[in-house]
Chains A and B, each alone.
Chain A
Amino acid sequence: MSQAEFTARIEADQCIVRKLVLLYARDEAERQDLMQESLLNAWKAWPAFRGEAKFSTWLYRICLNTILTQRRRDRPVDRVPDLERVAPKVDDRHVQDDRERLYTAIRTLPETDRALVGLHLEGFTNQEAAEVLGISANHFAVKLHRIKQRLSELLKPH
């Protein structure tokens, strides 16, 4: 279990860390902080990784646990949906960056809802995602339905 092996596996699954961090970071400095904290915790937990779970699931758990339990710099959290900013204007043909709009919309959700939708979009089944979060699959499905409705509302062209 060398650092080289760890680095190679992180590089292979780097999108997991990067996408997850993008759901929480409010600026570039915080993005780098969260990424470093997550990688540091993953590195510390690496000796205990036995390969019983998929590396991607293991990494997701570490990153999510890090982001949701670590102390972050005190700054006002943007929890008020800003429809003007998120939704594209009908006549704006140049708005192509759907990904950026999606992240912006997700960042307006409560923090645990961001984790939930991130797990879903990352391709985890309801059962797998519910296990990562520690809730029932049924509860997960109900929440996901509500979040998808919220996102559709936020991203609807007006």
Chain B
Amino acid sequence: MELQHAWNAPLPDDPALRAMLRTAQLQGNGPRDPLATLRKNLAINLAWAVIMGIAMLALLLSTPSLTVRLCLSVPVLFCVWSAWDTWKLRASIPIGISAENNVLHELKRHLSALRRWVQVGQRSGLLVYPFSAAGGFVLGGLAGSGGTVAELMTKPGMIWLLLISVVILTPLCWVVTRWMYRLAFGAQEEALRLRIAELEGE
């Protein structure tokens, strides 16, 4: 078979293409653009960081205890930092396909955006998970005992239990985050990596 001859053979008429051009379907975002999904996820993360930050700031301002205020100031600062980091990352991910970039460059750009997203998520996670684990432990303890924080924490061995919870739950949350990332973008990352390797390989 003559390849070029077969390739040049005229294609039959395509009513689907004409319909697409005629019915103004050239609107909206690409439903399968992974970078658009990333930006959407980052916007949600940003909103949560702001909401949590405001809630903790309100709690900080309403409590008279200086110790509690100092403790709450750490997650408030974390929320501010997290929101700033997320905003910076979101701004650095342009959506859409570039006609200026070659295929290899575009594949690497997409892969790099996916990796940066998971890195920011994991970095933030390592800072927030210890607080979440400690908070969950104390809240659970308070609900179970019905006492105050001071009563709970002065019980023998409670500090050690708290530390053990943090040490176990923090990496566990990190692993779960990684798993969720793989579930959401793992196949896409693998496909991009494969295509880059194919193009660069002999």
Whether chain B is bound by chain A comes out as: yes
Q: How far is the CA of A32 from the CA of B7 in the complex (A)?
A: 20
Task: Note all chain A residues with C-beta closer than 8 A to B102.
Answer: 61, 131-134
Q: When each residue 1-38 of chain B gets 1 if its CB lies under 8 Å from chain A and 0 otherwise, what string results?
A: 11111110101001011101110111110111110010
**Complex Cα distance A15/B9, Å?**
11
Once bound together, how far apart are the Cα atoms of A113 and B194, in whole Å? Answer: 12
B28 proximity list for chain A (CB < 8 A)? 40
A39 near B: Cβ within 8 Å? yes
- Report the Cα distance A32→B120, complex, angstroms: 36
A39 to B21 CA separation, bound complex (whole angstroms): 8
Determine if B30 and A70 form an interchain contact, defined as CB atoms under 8 angstroms apart. Answer: yes
In this complex, what residue of A is CB-closest to B26? Answer: A43
B61 on interface, CB distance cutoff 8 Å: no
Q: Are A32 and B16 in contact (CB under 8 A)?
A: yes
The smallest beta-carbon distance between A61 and chain B, in angstroms, is 5
Flag if B98 contacts A45 (CB, 8 Å).
yes
Within the assembled complex, what's the spacing in Å between the Cα atoms of A32 and B19?
A: 11
B99 beta carbon closer than 8 Å to chain A = yes
Q: How far is the CB of A138 from chain B (nearest CB, A)?
A: 11
State the interface size on chain A (CB cutoff 8 A).
58
Contact B99 A39 (CB under 8 A): no
**Chain B hits for A40, CB < 8 A:** 25-28, 30
Confirm or deny: B195 has a beta carbon within 8 angstroms of a beta carbon on chain A.
yes
Asked if A66 and B26 make an inter-chain contact with CB atoms under 8 angstroms apart, the answer reads no
Q: Looking across the interface, which residue of chain B has its beta carbon closest to that of A11? A: B21
Q: In the bound complex, do residue B192 and residue A142 qualify as a contact, i.e. CB atoms below 8 Å apart? A: no
Q: Are B99 and A111 in contact (CB under 8 A)?
A: no
Within 8 A of B (CB), among A31-86: 31-33, 35-37, 39-41, 43-45, 48-49, 53, 58, 61-62, 64-66, 68-72, 74
Q: In the complex the two chains form, what is the Cα distance from A135 to B96 in whole Å?
A: 22
* Pairwise interchain contact B3-A72, C-beta atoms closer than 8 A: no
For chain B, the bracket of interface size reads 35 or more
- A44-B96, A151-B3 as given contacts; A132 in contact with B103, CB under 8 Å: yes
Nearest opposing residue in chain A for B106, CB measure: A65
Interface contact B99-A37, CB-CB below 8 Å: no
B6 near A18: Cβ-Cβ < 8 Å: no
Point out the residues of chain B lying under 8 angstroms from A115, CB to CB.
103
1/0 per residue B55-79: CB within 8 Å of A?
0000000000000000000000000
B105 at the interface (CB under 8 A from A): yes
Please give me the 10 A-B residue pairs with the lowest Cβ-Cβ distance, nearest first: A134-B104, A134-B102, A98-B6, A43-B26, A121-B7, A41-B97, A112-B198, A102-B6, A99-B9, A71-B32
Chain B contact residues, CB within 8 Å of chain A: 1-7, 9, 11, 14, 16-18, 20-22, 24-28, 30-34, 37, 96-99, 101-107, 110, 187-188, 192, 195, 198-200, 202
> Which residues in A have some Cβ–Cβ distance to B below 8 Å?
3, 7, 10-11, 14-15, 17-19, 31-33, 35-37, 39-41, 43-45, 48-49, 53, 58, 61-62, 64-66, 68-72, 74, 98-99, 101-102, 110-113, 115, 121-122, 131-135, 139, 142-143, 148, 151, 155
